[in-house]
Structure 1
């Protein structure tokens, strides 16, 4: 795992290219504390910061071919590099290292950019071909590793993090106001937009070709939920288990200590179980806990660690300090409102004291159908089948208003919420669930000048575009597709990357191995979610591997005690920073409306903890970057 940066200029450089490359690289020092290097020739500059994980002695970058034609910087891991190296060696390619970087360069020499289809891993890379005078910049299929870029008339620059691009001459720090609206909708800024004007994020599964003619973007991979053709065999529980085991086993290769991030849920427990089968000795595991709370996750993590003989480390997460929030704002680059970023950041810091690499269970919910919204949608689909499609919404909404509330009944028998749920179209239900700040709240909070600046902007257009692209699939598959393209790539994986790389910890996500994801995506939705239960196929395949207490526990979010934090020092910080006359957020939000929101929350008239936290996050980011 590393940090990469660089640029390509087609005219004379009005600056010292080596000095700029060093600054861009140093901005990423935390991602690669072990080594660094820069390269510049004929307008092409590359910088690299290295976290030594495989072949510490031989994997230095930028990596240049013997004839000087190609030069490469790679962030991430190519898990099948040994297999690819053997193939290439048999065809006469020489190797001078054991690194996956050299494998990628040799593969490009043989296949060109088509080589990306052979890679199994998490990566972003930049490769310059001097003979062709072209720069290739690529990101992995799922979006585990980040890549930012900026394009001007005769120059192009890129970096693993936004802050490295801010070291490139002429890059503006002007805020894109549309991104602020996006942030208050999702809690993050969806790709390809970023919080700063002119800087973009490369979307997952895409690569760029940069030449004198300009920049061309190509999507080389997309997720396909098309069911297998009639008669196609669904993988058995044993076959799915074997695929899971192979995905974990392939990601264990390292020349440094390896451990596991253990949440106490089914996904991370399964990963730890498969690790224990393959690794010699006791596998270290790390769990975040919240002192003074009833922490079921902690108890289940302890059960899992005992089951597999893991050396378990509990990392206590206290209320975040001002210093911690400021550090996180710097490392996350863009405002990021998920409060679970705090325990993730603290957990990774604790894990790095023991290991250099950790495997996690991230991606299991999106792939195997773990979220409640998938279960709710299957209920919605079942009810809507009973009503003519063209009238379903109106009929079910009317029925929901007519039936008794039934609060005294068990939840599955309460007809009013079931009918109201079924009345809402999936894309509207999804947009409502994923929005931190609804339109009514935006009208109250946004300053008039900010609303005018947003005229014509629709933050939910990214969600609608994903629904449109997935219209040929059933609605549960659509929800999973949208999650993969937005919430997972720009939310969950961004959180894990920034929180881990802030401390030089490499986190691998075996449940997002693209071959495994492709296999599971084409399973029928009913095999993943049905009868109010998610991850059905996964649960069956893990019997005997995962302890029953964990296998059958309800899905829980990784949620810190946010309301308790707001009653303490975090709330005081909100008052000092956000409600100050010179606050950063006052550019966008009406201070009196924000104060009213805060007072209503403190008086427990309405719980707006998530929105209040989001406003504080934006304020902290603005003070750190602008």
Structure 2
């Protein structure tokens, strides 16, 4: 199991056995390089812990614990956990500020504690077959544990084909689950107890726009400063977009030496933002590294990237994120990123679609369904041309006519359209996706104050609490840790998140602006061309590759697996329809391809 995670921690490893429990750890050395080997123990070695992540308030915790009489043998943030547990028991996790996944063993009480950080930055999975329990940071390690995985979970696969990922607490296997963000699990002879130790505390803030600007600035500055602690070289991803540029600007203000920034450019100009990153790097006088990848290099990386997945994951931006992580890891061990800002401040195009869908729904439904929608749906789509891309977005916008906000939310993000959905025989991904989003919208009502439950604010909250950890943060963790790189995400700080979610929606999006309050708060850190440019997704032309470079590979892979989940002939028909440009099915076809590669790999290994 430990060998499966060597890429997450190539610097050191440790194994500890105590009665019914075994703890193992692979270390990426960042703080206290000489004495931080894990597991780490309390004074009499009755409490031990293995830990992944960073505790940003560990210095203040360490000081109070020292004053209470605890003796520290290392300078790591990890050792704080065992002593804090001695003081407060399982509730000690409530006092932690950071990103983390850990397992703590109490020898005297024979109690194992597992916990995942409040916003799900770090992953933690648990396998339980009724006889034994195993845990790990990644699913492949659990498949080596000997715990019975229980077979493929068809409900999970249905959600995968709906959303492009399998959300917590589910995984691809029935007996393996992900801990949810902010969840603690306690295992003892009495059984398995689950506790949600964190849910966001959102107070509706009726403050002026200028006050909101200042409040956001203060909180994000603090979050960045906390994430600069490191005993090894540290840098930042710089895409040239608003979010990463703000993080780099704050790092520059807080650093005595030039910030090291890293950008991956793409030979295909439509996907390349390196010119914008270069402008920001010059503006802040960073030590900038730029690496240009060709489409063939990215395609060549597909087998390696997909081959390390424990379950299917269809976010296409995993590939460019892997590329920038690989290049960054050559020079630093830690990088800060701008992940999370789009969900908090309405940066994605779907939020603009939702904003304007209000007006679209005022058009009589008979006009929409019998006139507008048939005309737009007949147009050819292509991501190779500006016109084809506008048609694709127009067809997506038609989903804004749905009156139910949760179902409308799914329509903005769904992977299979109606033509692709009919290829499924034994599962119903569209229905599964709608049910998932409806549950999340209902759950948002439990923590959003009444004044912040407008439809767009609810969508932003769901994407922050549900989509962000299950998709964006999961993608970043996969891509970075495959390259032994730790990525820290200042926007995904509980103080920043709760403050942003407390602000009125109109502070984030207006008819002409997105990320309104964010841009105003940091306009002094952004060159004017960057401040005024629109958002460009971190993506690759997968849909176009499926028409030519990956066409034969797709057909061969999909026809090589034995599954009753979808009709292979129907999928190949969708592929050919996509190839002619009659419709855009790139997201759906990529999800099928990723699933087929995963299924074939699991079959060849005898897992399924």
Question: Does the pair score TM above 0.5?
Answer: yes
**Paired residue for 2:82?**
105
Query: Aligned partners of 1:541, 1:233: CA distance in 2, in Å?
Result: 10
Query: Aligned partners of 2:67, 2:596: CA distance in 1, in Å?
Result: 57
- Secondary structure at 1:355's aligned position in 2? coil
Shift of 1:612: 1.4
Residue in structure 1 matching 2:274, options 264, 279, 298: 298
Shift of 1:301: 0.7
Structure 1 unmatched ranges of 5 or more: 1-23, 385-392
Given the superposition, is the C-alpha separation of residues 240 and 484 from structure 1 closer, same or farther in structure 2, using an over 3 Å criterion?
A: closer
Query: Aligned partners of 2:64, 2:313: CA distance in 1, in Å?
Result: 43
**Paired residue for 1:350?**
327
Shift of 1:457: 7.7
Deviations 1:370-424 (A, max 9, x none): 123333334445x59xxxxxxxx687424646998999xxx9xxx9999983663
Relative to the length of structure 1, the TM-score reads: 0.87
**Paired residue for 1:466?**
440
Deviations 1:268-299 (A, max 9, x none): 00001111122232222111222132445221
Given the superposition, is the C-alpha separation of residues 219 and 417 from structure 1 closer, same or farther in structure 2, using an over 3 Å criterion?
A: closer
Q: Is the 8 A contact 1:138 1:208 kept in 2?
A: yes
Q: Is the 8 A contact 1:436 1:611 kept in 2?
A: yes
Deviations 1:200-230 (A, max 9, x none): 01111111111122111111112344513x6
Query: Aligned partners of 1:510, 1:179: CA distance in 2, in Å?
Result: 31
**Paired residue for 1:605?**
582
- Secondary structure at 1:92's aligned position in 2? coil
**Paired residue for 1:208?**
185
Query: Aligned partners of 2:370, 2:573: CA distance in 1, in Å?
Result: 35
Q: Bigger CA drift: 499-508 or 218-227?
A: 218-227
Q: Is the 8 A contact 2:335 2:488 kept in 1?
A: yes
Shift of 1:493: 0.7
Alignment partner of 1:220 is 2:197: yes
Given the superposition, is the C-alpha separation of residues 194 and 607 from structure 1 closer, same or farther in structure 2, using an over 3 Å criterion?
A: same
**Paired residue for 1:16?**
none
- Secondary structure at 1:560's aligned position in 2? coil
Alignment of 1:24-63 (within 5 A): 24-63=1-40
Deviations 1:569-619 (A, max 9, x none): 3223112222x3x325x4422221122111111122212112111111111
Alignment of 1:485-524 (within 5 A): 485-524=465-504
Q: Bigger CA drift: 542-551 or 237-246?
A: 237-246
**Paired residue for 2:253?**
277
**Paired residue for 1:573?**
553
Shift of 1:343: 0.7
Given the superposition, is the C-alpha separation of residues 78 and 404 from structure 1 closer, same or farther in structure 2, using an over 3 Å criterion?
A: closer
Alignment partner of 1:583 is 2:561: yes
Residue in structure 1 matching 2:354, options 377, 380, 385: 377
- Secondary structure at 1:138's aligned position in 2? strand
Deviations 1:333-352 (A, max 9, x none): 21111111111111111111
Shift of 1:546: 1.2
Q: Is the 8 A contact 1:124 1:138 kept in 2?
A: yes
- Secondary structure at 2:78's aligned position in 1? helix
Query: Aligned partners of 2:249, 2:438: CA distance in 1, in Å?
Result: 39
Q: Bigger CA drift: 330-339 or 350-359?
A: 330-339
**Paired residue for 2:105?**
128
Q: Is the 8 A contact 2:416 2:430 kept in 1?
A: no
Alignment partner of 1:592 is 2:569: yes
Q: Is the 8 A contact 1:33 1:504 kept in 2?
A: yes
Query: Aligned partners of 2:89, 2:395: CA distance in 1, in Å?
Result: 59
Residue in structure 2 matching 1:621, options 583, 598, 608: 598
Residue in structure 1 matching 2:410, options 431, 434, 437: 431
Alignment of 1:144-223 (within 5 A): 144-172=121-149, 174-223=151-200
Residue in structure 1 matching 2:243, options 243, 267, 275: 267
Query: Aligned partners of 1:239, 1:177: CA distance in 2, in Å?
Result: 45
Given the superposition, is the C-alpha separation of residues 457 and 196 from structure 1 closer, same or farther in structure 2, using an over 3 Å criterion?
A: farther
**Paired residue for 1:5?**
none
Query: Aligned partners of 1:600, 1:286: CA distance in 2, in Å?
Result: 39
Given the superposition, is the C-alpha separation of residues 368 and 542 from structure 1 closer, same or farther in structure 2, using an over 3 Å criterion?
A: same
Given the superposition, is the C-alpha separation of residues 478 and 455 from structure 1 closer, same or farther in structure 2, using an over 3 Å criterion?
A: closer
Shift of 1:174: 2.4
Given the superposition, is the C-alpha separation of residues 492 and 207 from structure 1 closer, same or farther in structure 2, using an over 3 Å criterion?
A: same
Q: Is the 8 A contact 2:116 2:180 kept in 1?
A: yes
Deviations 1:532-574 (A, max 9, x none): 4221111110111111211122122112122342244322311
| Cα root mean square deviation, aligned | 2.7
Relative to the length of structure 2, the TM-score reads: 0.89
Deviations 1:20-68 (A, max 9, x none): xxxx111111100000111111201111000000001111111121222
Given the superposition, is the C-alpha separation of residues 297 and 231 from structure 1 closer, same or farther in structure 2, using an over 3 Å criterion?
A: closer
Alignment partner of 1:238 is 2:238: no
Q: Is the 8 A contact 2:407 2:437 kept in 1?
A: no
Query: Aligned partners of 1:43, 1:304: CA distance in 2, in Å?
Result: 54
Query: Aligned partners of 1:428, 1:467: CA distance in 2, in Å?
Result: 10
Shift of 1:459: 4.0
Given the superposition, is the C-alpha separation of residues 397 and 34 from structure 1 closer, same or farther in structure 2, using an over 3 Å criterion?
A: same
Shift of 1:70: 0.9
Shift of 1:133: 1.8
Given the superposition, is the C-alpha separation of residues 232 and 568 from structure 1 closer, same or farther in structure 2, using an over 3 Å criterion?
A: closer
Query: Aligned partners of 1:422, 1:610: CA distance in 2, in Å?
Result: 22
Given the superposition, is the C-alpha separation of residues 54 and 86 from structure 1 closer, same or farther in structure 2, using an over 3 Å criterion?
A: same
Q: Bigger CA drift: 370-379 or 280-289?
A: 370-379
Count of aligned positions: 579
